[in-house]
Amino acid sequence: MIGTVLAFFSLFSEAMAAARERTFIMVKPDGVQRGIVGKIIKRFEEKGFKLIALKFMWASEDLLKQHYAELAGKPFFPGLINYMNSGPVVPMVWEGLNVVKTGRQMLGATNPADSAPGTIRGDLCIQVGRNIIHGSDAVETANREIALWFTEKELIQWKPAIESWVYED
Ligand code: DAT
Ligand code: MG
């Protein structure tokens, strides 16, 4: 009997875990230079999302070209790679319910001129070529980007003490 109950709860918690996605967020070189890394991290922390991985690095051109591979044909691509390679970045993985979509909403529109006030880009930057932060646009993209920037070992499994105050189940 106890075994059945335990099995039920473990299945249930697995289903809940499955509902909690992961997204890839990165502070770009301008965000680092402007000293707003902490502010950006704070927004995700305060929302209740869970930090899974984070590092500080100067990304290679090769990595950045892979990251932005689908934009390779765009006229702004060389400038984008140059900008992203102009200084260190802070790649991160955040986890939570609907974190991909909510993360994009927290970032605001790609062009800060169109980003709503209250969003990260809407509040903290002005031009599309200096839009301070990256966020995955879909679950599949997130999985690809996470695998590109982090090894499996760098993704930390942990249970935040606040979890039962952020989620009702
Ligand atoms: P997002 O970063 O919102 O996912 P995206 O994937 O379309 O936007 O483009 C990646 C980055 O490329 C974007 O953050 C800034 C740059 N970019 C996009 N469109 C641009 C444009 N029209 N001119 C200059 N840079 C642009
Ligand atoms: Mg994008």
- The CATH number for 67's domain is 3.30.70.141
Backbone torsion region of residue 93, taken as left when φ is above 0, otherwise alpha when ψ lies between -120 and 50, otherwise beta? beta
Q: How far apart are CA 130 and CA 37, in angstroms?
A: 14
Residue 10 maps to a domain? no
> Is 22 assigned a ligand-binding role in the annotation?
no
Which residues span the domain enclosing 138? Answer: 20-166
132 φ, ψ to 5°? Answer: 55, -20
Tell me, using a 6 A CB cutoff, whether residue 26 lines ligand 1: no
Check pLDDT > 80 for residue 16.
no
Residue 4 maps to a domain? no
For residue 140, the CA-to-ligand 2 centroid distance in Å is: 12
| Burial (0-12, 13-18, 19+ Cβ within 10 Å), 50 | buried
State residue 127's pLDDT score.
98
Number of domains in the chain: 1
Residue 53 maps to a domain? yes
Check pLDDT > 70 for residue 151.
yes
Which tokens hold the place of 37?
């890394």
18 band by pLDDT with thresholds 50, 70 and 90: very low
Nearest listed ligand to the Cα of residue 134: 1
Prediction pTM value: 0.91
